[in-house]
Each structure stands twice: as C-alpha cells, then as structure tokens.
Amino acid sequence: MISYGVVAHGGAGSPMELSDGCRAACESAIRMLDAGEGSLDAAVEAARILEDDGRFNAGTGSVLRIDGRTIEMDAAVMDSAGKIGVVINVREVKNPVLLARAVTGTPHVALAGRGAEVFARQLGFAPFRDFSMRVGRRAPSDTIGVVALDKKGVFAVASSTGGASPMMVGRVGDTPMPGCGFYAGARGAVAVTGLGEESIRKMLARAVYDMIADGTGAREACEKGVGMFAPGIRMGAIAISRRDWAAAAKDAMAHWSIIRE
Ligand code: ASP
C-alpha cells in the first residue's frame, strides 16, 4: 500500500538518460509531501522544475510550431478534492503550470491564448522569451507530467507541454483536455503523454483512471491503456493509486518515482 508519493515522466519517447531531471523534480515534491503539504502543490512544483529543465518539451524547452518562430504551450492541473485549472496556447509565459494552478483560484476551469497571457501579467508573471527555440520534426523529448498522492489521501496531476511537432500554430493536443491528457479522482491520478490527436480519441487518461477505479492495478491499467493504440503510435502514461504506481510506454520514457509505503 502506498501512504504517499510522487511519479514524474519526461514524455513518451524521451531517452532514459533524462530520468535525472524527473528525479530532481520528484525529490523536490517528496520534500513537500514529507512536510505534509498537498499533492497539488507538490505536483505543480515538480512540473515547474521540469519546465525549467530545458531538455523537455515544456516551458523553457518547448519546441517551435511549424512556422519556425512561434511557441505556444498548454498546461493542466487537477486534484481529487475538486480543483482543476487549464491553460491553452499560451505564449511568453515561463511556467504555464503555475498559470494553470492559478486558474484554480478563478471561477473558471480554462483560459486560452491572449486572455491567459493577460491573466499571467496581472499575476505579475514577467513576459518570457528565453526559450531554447528548438526546431525539429520531432522533439527529442516530450510533454512532462507528474502524479502525486499526499498524506491526506488527495490525488493530484500536473502536466505541461510545448505540443507535438510538427504542428500548426493554434493546434491543441491532449495535455490540457480533461480526461484525455490528465485525470485525478478519488481512486488515483493519471498523466498521459504521446500523440495527442490519438489519446483524445480514446480519452486515455479517463480510460486508465476508470480501470484503476474498477480495481485494476495501476501497472496493468497503464499497460492496457497504452496498448489500446496501434504499434506506430507513440503513447505513454503514469499513474498512482493507493495500491501501486506505474509508468508505461511503448518505447522509452524517462521517469522517476519516490514512494512512501
Ligand atoms: N501529448 C502531447 C501533445 O500531443 C505531446 C506529447 O506528450 O508528446 O501535445
């Protein structure tokens, strides 16, 4: 049985060598959880560290859109206590996950584009343009995601992405779509990574969560979820429940976990 803990991933297809970034994120989150802080804040802090890492396709390391000059990012947070916050296609924000966290304090669930950026400036987030500006048909690593359980039994998820490349300006993937890229409920939390257009079609995060809620272990649920897609489709998932945790992907996926039994 898991008392509390955290799991982080660096994206479907990310090389295992990048797991040290996930480890640093988990170490920071577990310090918060050890101290009795909530899973949502711990997951957000871990995601912020991964956004700032620069090697992942999120925050500072976000990839360029197909026009070769635009960066648009999505992020989402959710916990089993009812908090949910999403930002979609934000530009010039260093940490979209902090903005998504801030949306949970508004009457809304999601803010997109210019309105989200105006909200960021109102919160005092300075305009940020110091992205690594990676170009490429495919990012060397992908979306980041974190799931956590705290001492009070609250589950949380935080995810952030620069998208999937190549992609059109304005394209939105699964990362900010509830039940597709992320889900947290009373029985667990799930973060999904991979080809967003495909995971949206199957609402993968909710499908994995439903299996866990029905009594399937997190490992089996993640493996079955990832297995729902044709061989060539990049997909990965992490999950945590009271019973176990899992990280499953079709190919490599950098990840780390720190679990207190
Ligand atoms: N799911 C992300 C998206 O489609 C990309 C990824 O996880 O690799 O935007």
Q: Hey, which of 143, 160, 204, 253 would you mutate to test ligand 1's pocket, going by the most ligand atoms within 8 Å of its Cβ?
A: 143
> What pLDDT digit, counting tens, does each position of 218-259 carry?
999 999 999 999 988 999 999 999 999 999 999 899 999 999
What is the distance of C-alpha 233 from the center of its chain?
19
What is the Å distance from ligand 1's center to 105 Cα? Answer: 26
Catalytic site residue 143? yes
Q: What is the pTM of this model?
A: 0.96
| CA proximity to 85, closest of 51, 112, 123, 56 | 112
Residue found by looking up tokens 């909530």 in the block = 38
Report pLDDT for 137.
44
Residues whose beta carbon lies within 6 Å of some atom of ligand 1: 11-12, 142-143, 161, 163-164, 173-175, 181, 193-196
Both tokens of 238, joined, read 């992490």
Edge-to-edge strand list for the sheet holding 4-9: 110-112, 84-90, 73-79, 155-161, 144-149, 4-9, 255-260
Domains of the chain, earliest start first = 4-260 (3.60.20.30)
Q: Hey, which of 9, 160, 193 would you mutate to test ligand 1's pocket, going by the most ligand atoms within 8 Å of its Cβ?
A: 193
- Taking phi over 0 as left and psi of -120 to 50 as alpha, with beta for the rest, 170 belongs to left
Report pLDDT for 30.
98
Extended strands (E) in the chain: 4-9, 73-79, 84-90, 110-112, 144-149, 155-161, 182-185, 188-194, 235-240, 245-249, 255-260
For residue 250, the tally of other CB atoms under 10 A from its CB is: 18
Please provide residue 209's backbone torsions phi and psi, each rounded to the nearest 5 degrees: -60, -45
Q: Which atom of ligand 1 is nearest to the CA of 196?
A: 4
pLDDT at residue 34 tops 70:
yes
